[in-house]
Amino acid sequence: MGKTYMAKESEVDRQWWVVDAAGIPLGRLASQVAHVLRGKHKPIFTPHVDVGDHVVVINADKVVLTGRKKEQKMYYRHSGYPGGLRATPYGELLAKRPEFMVEKAVKGMLPKNKLGRRMGRKVKVYAGPDHPHEAQSPKDLEIER
């Protein structure tokens, strides 16, 4: 029997990917971006090591919410005081803070531990078509619709 290969942090070759979010449903985009951030697309995937790549998401303001999610889906936050619950419809979030909305969806699909938080730092989200990561020469990542 052969030994199971376990990747080491020093052996990881990180790529940069750019995703155009225009016209793609939010959940589908988030799940596939989280897949790349974790490194599950690589043959050296190791669950306890961050082997994932960097992902740049552009046109976050053109992401699609299917059905009636714009009116019905809510983003909640609490001030910590009694009665301090604030609810914001996702339609309003899409109009005012599309980067936050996409980032929140992606990070929600990553592990809830130190490793997941570290993976979450490798996603960069921009509302428009421009991004400052041209020097990393990112490749296009096709999202299956």
In a domain, 134, yes or no: yes
In a domain, 22, yes or no: yes
In a domain, 84, yes or no: no
Short-list 100, 91, 92, CA closest to 123: 100
CATH number of residue 100's parent domain: 3.90.1180.10
Q: What average pLDDT does range 43-70 have in this prediction?
A: 96
Q: Which domain holds residue 126?
A: 14-65+95-140
Residue 70: the pLDDT is: 95
In a domain, 50, yes or no: yes
**Cα(12)–Cα(122) distance, rounded to whole angstroms?**
14
98 — pLDDT class (breaks 50, 70, 90): very high
In a domain, 127, yes or no: yes
In total, how many domains does the chain have? 1
CB 50 within 8 A of CB 118: yes
What mean pLDDT is reported for the chain? 95
In a domain, 83, yes or no: no
What does the pLDDT look like over 107-119, one tens digit per residue? 999 999 999 999 9
Short-list 99, 112, 140, CA closest to 16: 140
In a domain, 21, yes or no: yes
**Cα(25)–Cα(23) distance, rounded to whole angstroms?**
7
Q: What average pLDDT does range 63-67 have in this prediction?
A: 96
In a domain, 38, yes or no: yes
